[in-house]
A and B are shown apart, each in its own frame.
Chain A
Amino acid sequence: MEQVMQITLVCVVTALLAAAVRRGAPEAALLLGLAAAVAALLALSGSLRELMGFFSELTARAGVSNDLFVPLYKTVGIALVVKVGTGLCKDAGAAALASAVEIAGAVCALLVALPLLEKAMNVLLELMG
């Protein structure tokens, strides 16, 4: 709970500062936004580590190989980065860039998911053949 409060507070304060600076130097407002986002995500590293540790323990206990779930985690990571990136681009008023980032994210997510789909195809072929 503490962490959520801290991060929310920092982000709101930074948003206010950015609004104040925007008239004079809009680039500085954008940079402030970027800095706050990076700082927030870095602050979450501990909790994220805990979550991923829990997931890998579950897979280990269930006796499933981790390869099946790693593409999933990668997709989540890509989604995180893409979401923040598009938000920042839109803040700067570059909606076209934001769409470009989104497209890049979708393509990379599919690329990362390819081994999983390949494994699915192999298992199904084995069952039916």
Chain B
Amino acid sequence: MKKWLLALLLALLLTVPVSAAEVPDELWDALPEGTEDILQNTDLTATDPLGGGVSQILQNLKEQAKSVLCQRMRSAVSILLVVLLCGAVDGFSQTAGASGPKLVLAAGALSVTLLAAGSLENLIGMGGGVIESLNNFSRVLLPVLAAATAISGSVTTATVQQVITVLFTGLLLKLIEGLLLPLIYLYIGTLTAAACLPGGRLGNIAEALRKCITWVLCGALTAFTLYLSVAHIISGAADAAAVKMAKATIAGVVPVVGGIIAEAADTVLAGAGMLKNTIGIFGTLAVLAACAWPFLHLGIQYLLYKLVGFLAGVVGSPELCKLIDGLGSAFGLVLGMTGASALLLLISILSSVAAVT
């Protein structure tokens, strides 16, 4: 009799991990847009699902890189045309003897900003939309994670840490949306005004704004990573060589906040090594897939604007060149913000998984 009971209990216990490996339907529904194909193509029960998923995402990016480049090239070329036009009209008006206010600069600066404003709205909207959908997704994911692993044993103290992490993440996302995005618009406005009017004072104000945005972002991220290392939410050793490579790549590629993100990459990779939970892998892949697309767009836009700024410096007036350069930095800032929010969400997912395994 006892043997039968024991066998039954064992059978029950054995069935439980199997059910934890399935991803519930509500998670599939809550997925951010565009990530479904990638996740459906990834075999979540394979030996290295995380590596497979990441390589899928990279392949997807490579295929779409060319079309994105062509799309973004158009706006860059039109800005170059405007710079050319301003140079020509300036030369003409100077020889004709016009000595009024620097109208050429004002017209040129305005048209460049108007041209850039279109793609700016587009990209900031894209970044903001991704951040919001990731937020919604994580709100569904985390309770599912907690529920799935509560079956295999509850860890009450770690749940408290998880709640704090999630709270912090939400706070930071609100900060980005509420404070930093309007500041970027203000920065662009100041840049345009600085290009219209002679004299360097407005330019200094614009520089100060940019530095301020950078500091706020870096400061928030640093506080977060400090808290993580102090609270030992994610501990464990990751492969040292992979960590070094990832750090160097990220610090070089992502402008503005690359250094901070590289430091946090250590923590993230350590946590990734601990991902054995299928749902955790699912969640991580979803976050990565969702923010790969805006990363590509923003990155290409940033590089293109810097290139155009350099070319404009050769052809046209220095004020216009500074304006275009500043617009490129604005795009870089948006890229940094999207990267920071994605990182925060990743860490919060990992921390909840870590809390349970």
Binding site for B on A (CB under 8 A): 51, 54-55, 58-59, 61-64, 68-69, 71-73, 75-76, 78-80, 82-83, 106, 109-110, 113, 116-117, 119-120, 123-124, 127-128
Contact = CB atoms under 8 A, between A and B. Distances in A.
Given A61-B81, A75-B103, A113-B101, A120 B185 contact: no
Contacts of B98: 75-76, 78-79, 109
Contacts of B114: 64, 68, 123
Interface residues of B, number: 34
B106 A116 contact: yes
Given A75-B93, A75-B100, 20 more contacts: A54-B88, A55-B88, A62-B79, A62-B111, A64-B78, A68-B114, A69-B89, A76-B93, A76-B96, A79-B99, A80-B96, A109-B98, A120-B109, A120-B110, A123-B114, A123-B192, A124-B189, A124-B192, A127-B186, A127-B189
A79 B93 contact: yes
A95 B263 CA distance: 73
B108 to A, nearest CB: 9
Contact of A68 (B78, B88, B111): B111
B115 A128 contact: no
Contacts of A73: 89
Contacts, number: 102
Given A61-B78, A62-B78, A124 B85 contact: no
A10 to B, nearest CB: 20
Contacts of A58: 81-82, 84-85, 88
Given A110-B100, A113-B103, A64 B186 contact: no
A80 B92 CA distance: 11
Contacts of A124: 189, 192-193
A75 to B, nearest CB: 5
A55 B89 CA distance: 8
Contacts of A64: 78, 82, 111, 114-115
Contacts of A72: 89, 93, 103-104, 107
A26 B79 CA distance: 54
Given A72-B104, A124-B193, A127-B189, A79 B115 contact: no
B235 interface: no
Contacts of B109: 120
18 contacts: A51-B92, A61-B78, A62-B115, A68-B111, A69-B85, A69-B107, A72-B89, A72-B104, A72-B107, A76-B89, A79-B97, A106-B100, A109-B98, A110-B101, A113-B101, A116-B103, A120-B192, A128-B185
B285 interface: no
Nearest to A56: B85
A interface secondary structure, majority:
helix
B346 interface: no
A51 B185 CA distance: 36
A123 B110 contact: yes
B172 to A, nearest CB: 25
A51 B85 CA distance: 11
Which 3 A/B pairs are nearest by Cβ-Cβ distance? A127-B189, A79-B98, A62-B81
A68 B107 contact: yes
A102 B78 CA distance: 37
A83 B196 CA distance: 26
Nearest to A109: B100
Interface in B111-148: 111, 113-115, 117
Contacts of B88: 54-55, 58
Contacts of B256: none
B188 interface: yes
B225 to A, nearest CB: 33
B110 A79 contact: no
B319 to A, nearest CB: 14
B34 to A, nearest CB: 28
B78 A63 contact: yes
A117 B111 contact: no
A54 B92 CA distance: 13
A62 B82 contact: yes
Contacts of B85: 55, 58-59, 62, 69
Nearest to B197: A120
A127 B101 contact: no
Contacts of B110: 68, 116, 119-120, 123
Contacts of A80: 96-97
